[in-house]
Amino acid sequence: GAVVSQHPSWVICKSGTSVKIECRSLDFQATTMFWYRQFPKQSLMLMATSNEGSKATYEQGVEKDKFLINHASLTLSTLTVTSAHPEDSSFYICSARDWEAKNIQYFGAGTRLSVL
Amino acid sequence: GESVGLHLPTLSVQEGDNSIINCAYSNSASDYFIWYKQESGKGPQFIIDIRSNMDKRQGQRVTVLLNKTVKHLSLQIAATQPGDSAVYFCAETEKGNNDMRFGAGTRLTVKP
């Protein structure tokens, strides 16, 4: 199946700093990528839909100035958590949709963010 | 939207038994469904999919059943193994729609 690479897999940062997470589709072009947040023992919570070459669409309640999304190419989307606080600590997962492969969403391995 | 902030239901089975994980969906226009498996600390992995013009699809040790009348989807795992222990999510989408909606997930625990 298609591969989505997410980096880093784990990051620890100080409160107030910014963290960038990368999501790459390795063997297909993804005009649309998705960013999810997942709390322990809970389901995936869609944060935003990232569209190549245009602004991301954020879900209600997600601060777009806090979670900056850039989708500059067909294979790369980035999520930057700005001025991170301990409550931003979570598991962030990206996915990319392979339109040529029956619309399947393939997921990255996730990034565990810990803000001290 | 998708299920948000729900605590996961759990299913515990004995190794070697068959497992059935259920999922209800709400959008009658959904025409494509996927089951994902998520192991601890990892991203979800595609398991099997089914289109709305089918009611059953089989993979290796897994079978997905779709009942459009009652908007119900199930994943059957034959001869469940310890490596099957994970959280399983169903997802639904509608042709032409960008959204993919996820169920709350079910945590499957396989006892040796």
Express each pLDDT in A69-97 by its tens digit: 998 888 999 999 999 999 999 999 999 98
A110, B42: Cβ pair inside 8 Å? yes
Percent of chain A with pLDDT over 70: 94
Give chain B's mean pLDDT.
Answer: 89
Mean pLDDT over each residue of chain A, to the nearest integer: 91
How many whole angstroms separate alpha carbon B104 and alpha carbon B89?
A: 7
Residue B6: which of A4, A42, A107 has the nearest Cβ?
A: A42
CB within 8 Å of A53: residues ≥ 6 apart: A71, A72
Whether residue B3 lies within 8 A of chain A, CB to CB, comes out as yes
Instruction: List the one residue out of A23, A38, A18 whose CA is nearest residue A78.
Output: A23
The answer on pLDDT for B5 being more than 60 is no
pLDDT of residue B6: 46
Residue B7, pLDDT above cutoff 70: no
**pLDDT score, position A68:** 96
Residue B96: partners with Cβ closer than 8 Å, 6 or more residues away: none
- Pair of tokens at residue A98: 């392979």
Of B51-55, B95-99, B100-104, least confident by mean pLDDT is B95-99
Say yes or no to pLDDT of B66 above 70: yes
Per-residue model confidence as pLDDT tens digits over A10-20? 999 999 999 99
Q: How many CB atoms are closer than 10 A to CB A21? A: 24
* Stretch B82-96: mean pLDDT: 90
B6 to each of A3, A45, A112, B9, how far by Cα in Å? 28, 10, 20, 9
Whether chain B has a CB inside 8 Å of the CB on A31: the answer is no
Q: Are strands A10-13 and A111-115 parallel, antiparallel or unpaired?
A: parallel
Q: Which residues of A touch B44 (CB under 8 A)?
A: 44, 93, 95, 107
Of A41, A49, A59, which is closest to B7 when you measure between CB atoms? Answer: A41
B 83-102 residues with CB below 8 A of A?
89, 91, 93, 95, 98-100, 102
Note the residue count of chain B.
Answer: 112
Strand partners, A19: A81
Residue B90 contacts residue B48 (beta carbons within 8 Å):
no
Look up residue A58 and give its two tokens.
């954020």
Q: State the residue for tokens 């059957």.
A: B76
Q: Provide the pLDDT for residue A16.
A: 96
pLDDT at B2: 38
| Alpha carbon separation from A69 to A27, B19, B77, B81 (Å, rounded) | 21, 39, 38, 39
B76 vs A51: which has the higher pLDDT: B76
Q: Do A45 and B4 touch (CB under 8 A)?
A: yes
| Cα separation values, A42 from B25, B73, B89, Å | 18, 20, 11
